[in-house]
Structure 1
Amino acid sequence: MEKSAKIVILTGAGISAESGLGTFRDEGGLWARHRIEDVATPEGFARNPDLVHGFYNARRTQAAAAAPNPAHQALARLQREHKGEVVIVTQNVDALHESSGAAQVLHMHGTLAGALCSACGHRWAAPLQMQTGQPCPACAAPAGRPDVVWFGEMPYFMEEIYAHLAGADLFAAIGTSGEVYPAAAFVDEAHLAGAHTVELNLEPSATASRFAERRFGPASEIVPDWVAELLT
């Protein structure tokens, strides 16, 4: 790979699993105790905002106590040491990439650290515990909600992400299931742009066959090895 190559990396829940943050499919975790329709849709929030706030308060507390693992640290190292541009796009709402030192991170599904006014669209830093009827600092409407993208809502930064994919020389998907669109189609966008594509995952995703290269194993092991190869 050329020293000035542009690298675009998509990360999903699998990269944070080894930091103790569960995925949708983990048994016994937060998601296992709730239906997605109840805690991750605008309709669920309208029906029972107390339940939704309680769910995200628990996630926010859990994420605040988590520490980056070697996979996060390896990607931060790649950003520091690679001579070309390294863009990290994440489906995760935790801040573990930033905690590891990563600089350019596009949170396409929002962040647990943010609050959003559903009345005027103002954003502010979320307290550790949000309450139903949280007033907006800008318009005072009692319409505060977590600044996370729920099912049925448009992910953030899509134009910017597609522009990065169009210029990518290398695209990697790490810890993603390949089942959530539009992110599941990023490999096709990168391939059309002429990028080399690689999947790094615990096991093959739903889109594994569409990648030119595939590596499987725990993220904390395979990602540092992959980064070391790129940097040498």
Structure 2
Amino acid sequence: MSERERVRELVRGARRIVVFSGAGMSAESGVPTFRDAQTGLWAKFRPEELATEPAFRANPSMVWDWYVSRREAVARVAPNAGHLAIADFQRRHPGRLTVATQNVDGLHQRAGSPGVLALHGNLADDKWLDVPCERCDLAVEAGRPPRCAHCGNLLRPAVVWFGEALPARVLAEAESAARACDLMLVVGTSGAVYPAAGLARMARGQVVVVNPQASDLDDAADVVLRDTAARSLPYLLED
């Protein structure tokens, strides 16, 4: 039995599965990785100079425009065969597979996956920079970025910036799913960004790494498949 066949048998036998995905999965759809997004007008900046609350407070228009360019780049791509295979499995087997992702691009959601645990937030969404006043949501004034016409509070991208904690509820749900799963598929992540990467090390069941490159989580895996999500997941998740 090949390693791919072995993993497919693990999928078939698992009652609770977690797919933990990272940037490599989105890269197959053409989404630039975080650092590869530094092109054109943004090539002179390091991501750390833009993806922080102090940077946003110092120059909100510049940081907002960078995120607008990232949103436009994501809008031009589509979920790949790996995203679609996961969503299709979830439709066939409701409640059996949970997606936890480090990606902020929303491709899992666009593919049709329900209840995605977006550990680093969602690029398409906004939230208030400061605690909103009672009129913030009723008096949004257009701008770069939009602001509350009453108190001046700014909208910001609803992503996790450097120095910020992961959303507590989402992280807790992901950790609970990891501890309860029979099988975790770790797909397209380097395993270098914590605390998200720690999910693979707390998984109760078998851990399978799917990545064409070596990752920091290979040592936690029961099986390592040197393959991509788009090539492997349609086969692994096939009934």
Q: TM-score, normalised by structure 2?
A: 0.83
Structure 2 CA distance, aligned partners of 1:85 and 1:177? 25
Cα distance change of structure 1 residues 112 and 103 upon mapping to structure 2, 3 Å threshold: same
Larger RCO (CA within 8 A; separation ≥ 6): 2
Q: 1:61 to 1:83 in 2, by over 3 A?
A: closer
Aligned length: 221
1:73-121 deviation line (CA, Å, top 9, x unaligned): 0111121223652110111111211211111201111111111111126
Aligned Cα root-mean-square deviation (Å): 2.6
1:143 counterpart = 2:154: yes
Residue 202 of structure 2 corresponds to residue 202 of structure 1:
no
Q: 1:176 aligns with which of 174, 178, 189?
A: 189
Contact kept? 1:110, 1:148, Cα under 8 Å:
yes
Paired with 2:166 and 2:81, the residues of 1 have a C-alpha distance of: 27
Aligned to 1:160: 173
Give the unaligned 5+ runs of structure 1: none
Structure 1 match to 2:199: 186
Partner of 1:117: 128
1:66 paired residue number: 77
CA distance in 1, matches of 2:156, 2:37: 27
**Secondary structure in 2 matching 1:155:** coil
Identical-residue share of aligned pairs (%) = 36
Instruction: Find the aligned partners of 1:120 and 1:130 in 2 and give their Cα distance.
Output: 19
Query: Structure 2 vs 1, CA of residues 143 and 223 (structure 1 numbering), >3 Å: closer, same or farther?
Result: same
- The answer to whether the Cα contact below 8 Å between 2:34 and 2:47 also exists between their aligned partners in 1 is no
2: CA distance between counterparts of 1:165 and 1:59? 30
Which letter does structure 2 place at the counterpart of 1:93?
Answer: V
Equivalent position of 1:86 in the other structure: 97
Q: Is the counterpart of residue 212 in structure 1 residue 222 in structure 2? A: yes
